[in-house]
Structure 1
Amino acid sequence: MNETFDIAVVGAGIAGASIAAELAALGAGRIALLEAEDRPGYHTSGRSAAFWEECYGGPDIVPLTLPSGRWLREHGFLSPRGALYIGREEDGPAMDDFVRRFADSGVNIERLERDRLAAMLPGLREKWTRALWEPGCADIDVAGLHQHYLASAARGGVRLLTRARVSRAEWEGGRWRIETEQGESLGAGIVVDAAGAWADTLAETFGAHPIGIRPLRRTVAQVRTEPAALADLPLVLDISGGFYFKPESGRLWLSPHDEVPSPPCDAAPEELAVAEAIDRFSRVVDWRVEAVERKWAGLRSFAPDRAPVFGFDPMVPGFFWFAGQGGFGFQTAPAAARLGAQLLLGIYRDDLTQGIDSTIYDPARFTP
């Protein structure tokens, strides 16, 4: 292949698929979507814990999360769940700080008394006395959402190329000449770095200064419990960041909320992390874990300030960052992808993105 495109998006996870679809819908020209693996979403996008939680990621992420939530509900990708942040008496200051941080964000947060908390979480141990309730939390149909964007991109004429890991790039004649490990070559006027855990590695291939995007491993286990997890159980998170769990098809998805630095790779779960998750869970409720049925790990990639990176590189021509979405890539995808496409094309905002301060996410903030 020796084709020329207007835009090449590198990475076909939720970040790459969504921005490719938005660019196509906005008439951005010929677009290629390059995926290093045999299929899109093999890495983190295929291993998401699948929830939309308004506070997840912190106050800087809320402006992307809230409009995305409206879009996701309107398009049928959310199912009501609700979220409980729980704590002990000594976690009172952490609870107060959490409420203060999100006071002006538009997120609905309620304080719960112990009796209501115990009714919502059967078998709760006595020391867990404090809780914050977020009724808006919902499950995301992550597979459906990813496929929606891939299908939308395909309808818009986006060319998906799998097994197309970028090995070399050169700026010549006002465009990029890109080579893949399979020996293919293509040209593109603009390259979008949506490579997730590989974002900095890809940037260096294009001569851009790495931002410091770090992949962090997150472990999740699917366990069978006695009693069985109730279908309407809320997402439960430790206010101190030690665990979270949620029901899934009669089972429980359980994580120690770990963030272990990792090189970009096909992440594998650590037995110790699974054991820690089960131990922490046993300290919350008196349920018995009867079996670990499945376990997996994914890489959540963060910039140094933990805000995503959207925009043109200030030093390298034709290189656009769309990376650092951490663990909130799915819950912010609609607004983030629309915003990214609008920034790339230099066009006006719409109802989904108006009011978002894009300077928070500008890669220029990391210019050495």
Structure 2
Amino acid sequence: MTHPDIIVIGGGIAGISAAAELAAHARVTVIETEAQLGYHSTGRSAAIFIRNYGNATLRALNAAAAPVFEAPEGISDRSLLSPRGELLLAGEDELGTLQAYCDGASGIDLLEATDAVDLVPILRPERIVRAALERDAQDIDVDRMLQGYARLLKARGGQVVTSAPVTAIRRGHAAWQVTAGDRPFTAPVLVNAAGAWADPVARLAGVAPLGITPMRRSAALLPAPKGHDISRWPLFGSISETWYAKPDAGKLMVSPADEDPVAPHDAWPDDMVLAEGLHRYEQAVTVPVTRVDHSWAGLRSFAADRTPVAGFAPEADGFFWLAGQGGYGVQTAPALAQLTAALVTGAEPGLSDATVAALSPARFHSS
């Protein structure tokens, strides 16, 4: 399908989910640089669904995505979620941050230090003044989600082209002309779901970039603390996002919650940043870090206002932005995919006008 109705650039969860929704209405081709889908940010996600994570626009997307995660018709035969919980810890100087997080949130229980230690026994109670527990935060089976959307896309007649770096894009008389992996593709609509490469793709197409900035997020996998069954521990971390930890297949994943602006690339962790983050984690717990089994990094790409971008570029006919998902990409993907399909096909979006406007790239062009 070198002449589809829609070309989607990017085979992460954003591009694949949007393509699957669009394929119900049109002929869709996804173009991915790497040899496999979800190689970059999707495959390195913390993989948790937190309804209260993000600003008001993101919380609206979380709410819209929840029914899909719980009953992923056409994607999986069972829920993509499993119980986890999220425990956010605050010292004396972080109480304001904790209160701000709880404002407008739902399903949050405020806990004392002893309650927090009951949930995660390795925490130092003297470091905790208050804690917030969101019991309904849940793990996401990201691989099953990605593969399910890919199957749905193909079942609806869509095509995925991998190992095909995009080298040229130009707008013809009535269609976008894309060269990828030395093959030509043309389509009236081009969806830019290129993640950390969203701005470079726009420049290649002659479209003004939006200032989508990739930021590195590192993580390390540690052995489970001896004598503890961590399988039912919640994700736990600092309310100020200076570190967090999460059980992961019998081990403990710890992140320094870094956000260092970088050029788009196949990310790897900075040893100093990782060491500093592990030190902050060690100060909060009673168990020292004695071994790192594995470490990695991914890129979380943000617009300046830390809100995703979804909508047609005002100045470029048929160029659709689906970018800037930051650290919310997996958990908002079902909602943004449905919105993309609605906006591209002219259907009624299932989100409020205010939310759609907050996501639109037009917000960067207003005077």
The two structures have a TM-score, normalised by structure 1, of 0.94
Task: Write the letter of the residue equivalent to 1:16.
Answer: G
Task: Write the letter of the residue equivalent to 1:64.
Answer: L
Find the partner of 1:62 among 59, 74, 82.
Answer: 59
Matched, 1:134 2:134: yes
1:222 maps to which residue? 221
1:50-129 matches, cutoff 5 A: 50-75=47-72, 76-100=79-103, 103=104, 105=105, 107-125=106-124, 126-129=126-129
Determine the C-alpha separation between the residues in 2 that align with 1:301 and 1:201. 13
Structure 2 unaligned spans of 5+: 73-78
Shift of 1:355: 7.2
1:228-267 matches, cutoff 5 A: 228=228, 230-267=230-267
1:146-176 superposed Cα distances (whole Å, 9 cap, x missing partner):
1111111111111111122211122222111
1:362 maps to which residue? 360
Shift of 1:360: 0.5
Shift of 1:131: 0.2
1:326-345 matches, cutoff 5 A: 326-345=326-345
1:1-368 matches, cutoff 5 A: 3-25=2-24, 27=25, 29-75=26-72, 76-100=79-103, 103=104, 105=105, 107-125=106-124, 126-180=126-180, 182-227=181-226, 228=228, 230-350=230-350, 353=351, 357-367=355-365
Shift of 1:261: 0.6
Determine the C-alpha separation between the residues in 1 that align with 2:229 and 2:17. 33
1:247-306 superposed Cα distances (whole Å, 9 cap, x missing partner):
112100000000011101000111112212221111111013232111110000001111
Determine the C-alpha separation between the residues in 2 that align with 1:88 and 1:65. 28
3-state SS, counterpart of residue 57 of structure 2:
coil
Determine the C-alpha separation between the residues in 2 that align with 1:57 and 1:124. 25
Task: Write the letter of the residue equivalent to 1:177.
Answer: Q
Task: Write the letter of the residue equivalent to 1:68.
Answer: A
Percentage of pairs with the same residue: 39
Shift of 1:74: 2.2
Count of residues paired in the alignment: 358
Checking the alignment, whether the CA contact within 8 Å between 2:309 and 2:359 is kept in structure 1 is yes
Determine the C-alpha separation between the residues in 2 that align with 1:94 and 1:320. 35
Shift of 1:128: 1.4
Determine the C-alpha separation between the residues in 2 that align with 1:35 and 1:229. 40
Report the structure, 1 or 2, having the larger strand content: 1
The change in CA–CA distance for 1:70 and 1:30 in structure 2 (over 3 A counts) is closer
Determine the C-alpha separation between the residues in 1 that align with 2:10 and 2:186. 16
The two structures have a TM-score, normalised by structure 2, of 0.94
